[in-house]
Structure 1
């Protein structure tokens, strides 16, 4: 969100093109991003200024030749968005490069800890005069959270992240203290109070697809707490059926009293064969080795593990899942009690890295409303 807001603001200041930050989630899902809502409030930005994926008809804009897309924090479009490919003119990302070279698309991909670091680099090198306290606070907060308080022991921060975080600190000495800022964002991110099981799964989820769909969700409670939820397997099964998931991987993150991270992993599928194949692949993985140690679970369709490799976040798990899917290409997981293919519609996903539902109807925001939002954004001291 910060990368989209900041880079769109940068582009609007250095060009005459109307540039808008588009958040690739439905408006209804903002409530699931508790850390985002907290940061917006801290930075003095109203959520009403934001523009969401279900408020614009990108297909109509693309067909009219009125769309140019810059991708931030991902570098490839999912197959469901392939029709937008010709509109992509720039990419800024910190994930593994999967995009095919294209002379019409400028690509900046570097494996730093935070995409906000690369956006900050662009701004400082090309338009440092637009930086103010508010914009710096947004970028700084994203870096601090993504890089786990810039702690090398967490395995996320790189020298470039540290370089640009320090540059913002020097230029804006009144930024919130790093430790306090990280803790407040972490507390907001881990706040799952009031969320049902489906919302907890959707809160921080990526989906990868080949011949079947795998959702990978980060949970901010322990597996022991999660397994105590009444009717859990029925809720997980319902969620998978609703969104078309063949398999669900749950990666938990919690902390000891001394703030040491604890990671656990659970694999859910109604198909025993599918679940066992994924578990075996992850158990035998060497790059990276997850160091999985089985833990008991009372739920028959879930395999659970303590993850010894605390540095292996979902960012490092995703390539393993993609490798598994490619290896299993053509061997689709059967549904519960059947071997035939499911007629479940395509998965609605909440991250453009792996996919997102499209609103095929008329846009829910009028041209006048859009111009109004843009005018308000221009008037905000971002």
Structure 2
């Protein structure tokens, strides 16, 4: 069953949100089932279409578009959608004050477009880094500029990146309020918590940036702005998006956190951040809880619509919409990631996007020189991003280590490091005080068989072992998500532990109390590599090279958000053992 979301004909308001919510829960007429679109031949180089795609979208955006019924509970394309007050490349936008929904305000102020904003951020970050370099030489001038940094989680996926960009852009748009709150000269900068070189691993983000006229060179990365130096100088304030506890490269910056915008379980860190500055869209309950939105970008869109709707140009709307569609698998209600809030936000964003009229595409009037298809609807936007994300050629090309780094998160677990949980060398050091355990999880978009091609089962196993040691984790899990020929999701779970004993404990726990929920089906016997060689470690050398557990994950609805708490509960169960 699917719902057809008609395009609204008025400005966004709280009434529209209520109406969208009621419509979502109302009975819908049964419509013919529609399979996911067949995956087209994938583009080998994701950036080849850049300039032609931009011209394609800009040059053919004036005509009205037809409404599209997106399968299941998807968003319809806008009819007669036009560019908002801001256009990519425009010099300024009129931004209204808080709670002004119609764009009118006697106290309206001017703000640069998103590309101009990002370029300003990049320029100020470069100047700051140069200032730190001059300080080391004793030639620096005294800096007073306060940096309010917006940063997503260490995995730095599309949701983390774009929610940080959107929140910083919005905060700068309300500069008068921000200056009053911060009490000084402030620059609001989105900073990606990864090195710049890692952006190449995020193909769907690069594609989305190209579609939305975002220049990657204007984005600031962790290796381009020394946040720890800014904190030491008392010139750092930090807003966390898409997570609610500092980790990875942000570790040690907890005292600088002033705001949280997230949709994961609240870990309770940074207790000084409360009230409206702690927006964690997650409802805890005895069963663990549920996210109230499927994407952090939904929260950002809601705030923009409430505080500064003029910011939502076609490009900005498409940036947020693309992430929401990717995070919710095109608002697929069967997967249970999308909520009524995602649907309402996506509906309004879709209305603001200047979709390419199908007639222009059919006539070849604005046909791009590359093989990439043009986005005429939200459906096609989702397909374009999904194809870039799952591109098998890309996953075959990248190294084993890059595969693990692509979408990696570490988690603090209960218990203490001890004789059965660390590497062989670690177990010999009994003089050091016990440390809290950590485990890591990498999400990949290729099958384990593809990973095995990167040096064989043993070769990729060695890469996992080395990566686990470098991250200081007790165990390392790899979750794979792939699409079969019919577009259906498939998932696998591979776990590395430093010893066979720890592996046996984890297997017993996961296949026991949580086996029914995860629907685990052993793919190979446990062993010293994930090919299942399990009889080769006996006697005193048992587990010296680590231990691997491998399953097919039949519950394809289970994401890292659901699996990570299960692994964390395992560590609680073995604490002190």
Moved over 6 A (4+): none
**TM-score using structure 2 length:** 0.54
Structure 1 spans left out of the alignment, 5+ residues: 332-382
RMSD: 2.1
Change in 2 beyond 3 A, CA 1:225/1:104? closer
| Distance in 2, Cα, partners of 1:182 & 1:282 | 34
Deviations 1:195-226 (A, max 9, x none): 01111111111111343332211121122332
Residue 387 of structure 2: aligned partner: 187
Determine if contact 2:243/2:264 at 8 Å carries over to the other structure: yes
Question: Is the 1:38–1:185 Cα contact (8 Å) retained in structure 2?
Answer: yes
Give 1:190 shift.
Answer: 2.0
CA 298–84 in structure 1, closer or farther in 2 if over 3 Å, else same:
closer
Q: Which of 522, 528, 531 is residue 298 of structure 1 equivalent to? A: 531
**Cα distance between partner residues in 1 of 2:221 and 2:273:** 29
Q: Are residues 1:259 and 2:429 paired? A: no
Structure-2 residue corresponding to 1:222: 447
Q: How does 1:1-382 map to 2 (within 5 A)?
A: 1-15=161-175, 16=179, 17-78=186-247, 81=250, 83-100=252-269, 101-102=271-272, 106-110=277-281, 111=291, 112-174=293-355, 176=375, 177-191=377-391, 192-210=395-413, 211-230=436-455, 231-286=459-514, 289-296=517-524, 298-300=531-533, 301-330=547-576
Q: Secondary structure at the match of 1:113?
A: coil
Larger RCO of the pair (alpha carbons < 8 Å, separation 6+): 1
- Matched-pair contact (CA < 8 Å) for 1:75–1:92: yes
Pair 1:193–1:43, CA change in 2 (3 A): farther
Please give the alpha-carbon distance, in whole angstroms, between the structure 2 residues aligned to 1:222 and 1:88: 38
Asked if structure 2 preserves the Cα contact closer than 8 Å seen for 1:251 and 1:265, the reply is: yes
SS in 2 for 1:119: helix
1:193/1:226 Cα in 2 relative to 1: closer, same or farther (>3 Å)?
closer
- Range with greater deviation from structure 2 (119-128 or 230-239): 230-239
Partners of 1:259 and 1:174 in 2: how far apart? 25
Higher mean C-alpha displacement, 205-214 vs 109-118: 205-214
How many aligned residue pairs are there?
331
Using the TM superposition, give the Cα deviation of residue 274 of structure 1 relative to its aligned residue in structure 2, in angstroms. 1.6
Structure 2 regions of 5+ residues with no counterpart?
A: 1-160, 180-185, 282-290, 357-374, 414-435, 525-529, 534-546
Report the 3-state secondary structure (helix = DSSP H, G, I; strand = E; otherwise coil) of the residue aligned with 1:153.
coil
TM-score (norm 1): 0.81
Q: Which moved more, 1:261-270 or 1:230-239?
A: 230-239
CA contact (8 A) 1:267 1:279 kept: no
Question: Distance in 2 between the 1:109 and 1:153 partners?
Answer: 24
